[in-house]
Structure 1
């Protein structure tokens, strides 16, 4: 983001100051809460940007266990005291809230925040909320200069579910079918990949829908450490085939012991080291990147495990991206 750029963004809840452990002055004591600015009118430059999406509406419509609207708060709290390996600066733009059942309007409001942030050349992290957040993120991406100029948009979902449900109303189970239909209206085919799909969690109809849409997927049973070459090939093909990257992380892709605080905990899941490895590869590409992280339900969490797992992934993505761009 250029030093001369200022940001005019409309959010529902203004950003609050981050707080965390403080061991003293100087770069050797840096933690995330030291790096966060909440002044959207400041010129920057920034190395990353955050926006929250406080929504339970999609989970409610999908008949899941509600509570994910408080996810953004907990993710910020878990990230705040994590130590930074090198100085960086990040903007917290505040939150979009869906409190009136109007999920569709919330999607558009989120897109109106995400798009301008991406256009300023920084990785953007959207803190969910239910997985319905992914469609709002997508709306922001398709409005960016890079995509409007013909950049190939790719969506990689780390998830136990396809989330391709064909429901009457949008929900946490529909975002990627919504994207596919939106891309069809734009005259394109959605470039969509899923890593971590659980067969028992997806009906035969959903697998047929994925096949019809040309969705490539890697099952959770093929994402172990012994299958790392296949995971790398799957991830590298995604990165190499696209110019603008949308990484969507549903925390229920992780084993229930690591991520108990989700609407649908995973009986199998993909180990944290594999998910973190994939996230780092995507971040190291240096390509325009938006990450949304979904389904953290603090009411169902145990010892903040899920919040810390999500924060760890965010930390790895943004520090990897910064290290790569600093070297370049």
Structure 2
């Protein structure tokens, strides 16, 4: 087995409970059909598929006090947090197969708690078209998949901000957001107020992806747990149509590969989310296959041998 990477556990979270479109609940199975387990095994990684987390169905109701499906979102995220925490305790690298991005509240809570318990530094790379730094006061929709970063930083309902037993679960200076190109106006003010480190597409256009990733990974060392939260809408919709919240002007295939290869080069990734894949909006599972291709690069696939 590939000793560079710890053993990996695949964990499905088949829900669209926090989203504005139905269909992300089918994402885990689409990733399995695209061969994510076999792809990692072929790279020498020890892979176990833990199956799917079970949670409440999506009632598809309007928002209440600014939140859609808060109780159901809480149940799913508690289950996600517990599942990832079990893998950390077992010395395994969890890959959360989403599901919509509200589930990152659970994964970030688990990762942050793991870092507190082990004395590791936390660095989160948030690969997304959106900052997901909304609150119930400013959200235009009430969809909680637009709030996970805010919740992790202590902005949100107590049941979500305190999920991992520590408020806030993480500080804004522990996250780097890459590929951002759609931010609601009130959200922009919150991002500036809290000093979130955002590498938006204009920044990437100006300095290039290599310098962007060097900046985002600066300070990551042997004492760092690197968590990657990969929303498939990070990618340009011309190559990844299977998402409910497409935003034109995202990273192209080579830029996305470089992101993944530089993360792999760091050797510090300790957990991964793959979120918002919506097969109902895809074409012949093309987006899932691309996601699997990129995940292979996260685990060391490259054109040439690089030391």
Which range, TM-score by smaller chain? 0.7 to 0.9
Residue 305 of structure 1, CA deviation = 1.6
Output aligned runs, 1:289-300, within 5 Å: 289-300=270-281
1:251 to 222, 232, 243: 232
Question: Higher mean Cα deviation, 281-290 or 234-243?
Answer: 234-243
For the residues of structure 1 that align with 2:259 and 2:214, how far apart are their CA atoms?
11
| Bigger Rg over Cα | 1
Indicate if the aligned counterparts of 1:235 and 1:278 stay in contact, CA closer than 8 A. Answer: no
Tell me, yes or no, if the aligned pair for 2:13 and 2:80 is still in contact at 8 Å.
yes
More displaced stretch, 260-269 vs 180-189:
180-189
1:245 to 1:170, Cα distance in 2 relative to 1, 3 A: farther
Q: Indicate the SS of the match to 2:111.
A: helix
Of the candidates 140, 143, 147, which is equivalent to residue 174 of structure 1?
147
Which has the larger displacement, 132-141 or 233-242?
233-242
Measured in 2, the distance between the counterparts of 1:131 and 1:124 equals 16
Residue 162 of structure 1, aligned match among 127, 131, 137: 131
Give unpaired runs (5+ residues) of structure 1: 1-26, 28-34, 36-44
| Residues matched between the structures, number | 274
Q: 1:238 to 1:166 in 2, by over 3 A?
A: farther
Aligned to 1:194: 177
Q: Distance in 2 between matches of 1:225 and 1:276?
A: 19
**How many Å separate the matches in 2 of 1:92 and 1:195?**
29
SS of residue paired to 1:94: strand
What are the residue-to-residue correspondences of 1:34-183 with 2, within 5 Å? 47-59=7-19, 64-80=20-36, 82=39, 86-101=43-58, 102-144=72-114, 146-167=115-136, 171-181=144-154, 182=161
RMSD: 3.0
Confirm or deny: 8 A CA contact 1:224 1:274 kept in the other structure.
no
Question: Does structure 1 retain, via aligned residues, the 8 Å contact 2:14–2:25?
Answer: yes
Contact 1:224 1:271 in 2 (8 A): no
Taking the aligned partners of 2:206 and 2:48, their CA distance within structure 1 comes to 35
- Deviation of 1:225 after TM superposition, in Å, equals 9.7
- Alpha-carbon separation, structure 1, partners of 2:200 and 2:222: 21
Contact 1:224 1:270 in 2 (8 A): no
Unaligned runs of 5+ in 2: 59-71, 155-160
Q: Name the TM-score, length of structure 2 as normaliser.
A: 0.79
Contact 1:243 1:287 in 2 (8 A): yes
Question: TM-score if structure 1 supplies the norm length?
Answer: 0.75
